[in-house]
Amino acid sequence: MENLQFTKDETMYHVTYTAQGKTKKKFYDREAVEQLLTAIEAEPRYGK
């Protein structure tokens, strides 16, 4: 995987990346992404 980039708007995260020479774009629900990130940061093994 190369060239990983993301943007976000009011409802979605837009993730763009290159895999095996092809550019791909995925969309993820913003609320779900932010809940997952909060859970990861709260985990002592992964938190700050």
pLDDT number for residue 37:
92
Q: Domain coordinates of the chain in residue numbers?
A: 2-42
CB contact set of 36 (below 8 Å; sequence gap of 6+): none
SS3 2: strand
Return per-residue pLDDT of the chain as tens, 48 residues.
899 999 999 999 999 999 999 999 999 999 999 999 999 889 888 765
pLDDT number for residue 34:
96
